Amino acid sequence: MLIEVAIGIAAAPPAVFALLADIRHWPEWASQITELTVLTPGPIAVGTCYRETRTMQGRTVSQEITIQELQPPVRFVTGAITHGTRFAGVHRVEPDGVGSRLVVGFLAQPVTLSAALIHPLMWLMRGRLRRQIERDLADFKRAAEQQPGDGV
């Protein structure tokens, strides 16, 4: 299952990417993220693991996530495996006129037989997942456009 959502942002691509890749500060702008703990010492890089706690549909959910790709200033990919399903968040920052376009793709692929059997139920949650991504993007847009000196 793939869900892809995009939003225009009135900020230059390097500024958008810098805010996006600064995972330690996500709880400051993402209203659904209540806590984020970086589990890997050192700078944020490919292989960095973090635990994200967020509110989803009225429940608190924590997930350990790994940064799989970090290609400034255009591509940022995170991933996790839980309940037999591989999840990936693919973030692309594209120039868009004088600003940027942020495209977020959410991919879920079953990797075990039991996950494959219940995977059709994920399609029933597709609308909720899309709305969650849209809320995250709206929060991100506000934060990116409020950065001093980074707007266009």
CB distance 37 to 50 below 8 Å: yes
Domains for the chain: give ranges and CATH numbers: 2-146 (3.30.530.20)
DSSP letter for each residue of 57-76: TTEEEEEEEEEEEEETTTEE
Supply the pLDDT for residue 152.
53
CA distance 149 to 11: 9
Please state, as a whole number, how many other Cβ atoms lie within 10 Å of the Cβ of residue 46: 11
Cα diameter, the chain: 51
Number of residues that make up the chain? 152
- Digit-by-digit pLDDT tens for the chain (152 residues) are 899 999 999 999 999 999 999 999 999 999 999 999 999 999 999 999 999 999 987 899 999 999 999 999 999 999 999 888 899 999 999 999 889 999 999 998 888 888 787 777 777 778 888 999 999 999 999 999 998 764 55
CB distance 109 to 81 below 8 Å: no
pTM, rounded to two decimals = 0.87
Cα four-point dihedral sign 141, 145, 151, 152? positive
